[in-house]
Structure formats: structure tokens, C-alpha cells
Amino acid sequence: MDTRQRRPSGQTILGIDIGGTGIKGAPVDAASGHLAMDRLRIPTPQPATPRAVVDVVAQVVAAFPSVTGPVGVTFPAVVRSGVVASAANIDPTWIGVDAAELLRDRLGRAVVVLNDADAAGIAEMAYGVGRDRIGVVVMVTFGTGIGTALFLDGSLVPNTELGHIIVAGKDGERLAAASVKTRKQLTWKAWAKRVNAYLARLDSLISPDLVIIGGGVSKDHAKFLPLLESRAEVVPARLFNEAGIVGAAAAVAIATSPQGARRSSRKPG
């Protein structure tokens, strides 16, 4: 997916971001990347089974009746052609489910489904700090877990899931996710030390030119960003915790653009 494509002007698209603790949605102006209305957040049902999550997504869609057309939806999981292939931060009954088809049948409209970190990265590359940046760029979202979105010269390498690289013998997100800071009541300095270990391991694997720090914790970047150490340039996300919503909408804009439609028509059966 090439994020360098320009968005259609005058288009308002509903983006929905499914997270481990909340499901958020809002209409997005596809030209600017700004939310066109205030977002709605509903707690993620527990357990987050397909039926329960789809019910909440339907509630979010119903809250914006004036916004018609395709919907973009993010998942905290690997997503291949609309099918959920992992379940680190969502109920395991989702594995193997065609989420795009399930949502399309419930909502009665076309749905584009993608990984949540990929969506956040698309938003930052299209409208935020990654715009017009070339080379290797990685967006790292710190939240319930750690999500990543990897780009080479503006093109997405989907479903990288680099939040699960092994750091000091642990799954990276179990060491340095924002939820770990909260659960262990870590100071910013103590948590930044863990993030530095994660970034060092990430650098050894992919040698990024730019690291964009996102997720809910990004709004507090002044408290920890000066404590981070990396060979690569490290910057806070511009869209903060709205990046998932914006990226979900941007994915729809890309998929429905003439270029995206041509690529879809070439996919095998």
C-alpha cells in the first residue's frame, strides 16, 4: 500500500479503531486527515468475541447516520485480505474469521479491514510526521501491547508485528508496552529504559532511518522522549491516539482510488 497517493478531496469516510480496551470511531475528512466530528469511544467487550465486537462496531456506525459509504476498521491482529490471522490482544476465537465479510454482512456496506498499527502508520505517513519521508520508517505504537508499521520509501510492508521481537529474553511488548508501565507503576525514567532496550533491538534488526512513537502514551511525549536513545531519529506521532481512526479511513480512500481499484482487480480469485 503506497501512502504517497493523494486522497480524494471532499470525501468523508468513517474510520473505526478496535483496541484491547476501547473501540473508537469518527468520520474523517480524507483530504486533510482531520476528524470531521467528535469521536465516539465504547469499551471493548470482554471477552472480545466476534459477535460482541461486531455489535459494538455497529453501535459506533449507527452513531454517525449521515456518513454513508465504505467503512475502515482496524484490528489489533495480523489481517490478510480481511481475514484475522492472530490474536495477541483480542479473543482467540477471531483467528481465521473473515472480519471484512462479517462486518460487511452486519453493516450492509463495504468494509476495509487492516492491522491497527498499520493504520496508524498510514495516517502518519499520509498526514503526519512521516509525510514525504523516504528510506526505512517504522511507527511504533505503545498501548495495551506494542504495534509496528514498517514503510520503505513510503510503501507499507504490512503485518510486521515487530512488537513481539525478543528483548532481553522477553516478548518486546511484555517488557515495554504502555500497559506495563501502568501495571507496574513505573516512573517515566524506568519505563524509558525498557523502551530503549526495545529500540536497540529493533535497530539491530531493521536499521530504521526514522522511528515514530505513537499510541495513547504519545500525548505525554515530553515526559519520556528526551530520555530515549537511538541511532535513528525518534519523533512523536502528530496525530496521537487518533491515528488509528484516521488511518482506517485513509485505507478506504486508497482502496477505492483508481490505483487501488486496479490493484484489487488484479488479485487472484
CA distance linking residue 211 with residue 29, whole number of Å: 26
Give the sign of the dihedral formed by CA 76, CA 78, CA 84, CA 88.
negative
Residue for grid cell 532481553:
168
Tell me what the mean pLDDT of segment 177-200 comes to. 97
Residue 13: CB atoms within 10 A of its CB come to 26
Answer for the pair 223, 198: CB distance below 8 angstroms, yes or no: no
Share of the chain above pLDDT 90, in %: 84
CA distance linking residue 121 with residue 42, whole number of Å: 23
Question: In the chain, which ranges are continuous DSSP H helix?
Answer: 50-62, 99-107, 116-127, 172-176, 178-184, 188-206, 221-224, 243-255, 258-266
Residues 25-79: tens digit of each pLDDT: 999 999 999 999 999 999 999 999 999 999 999 999 999 999 999 999 999 899 9
CA distance linking residue 248 with residue 138, whole number of Å: 18
What is the pTM assigned to this prediction?
0.88
What structural domains does the chain harbor? 12-118+242-266 (3.30.420.40), 132-237 (3.30.420.40)
| pLDDT tops 50 at residue 269 | no
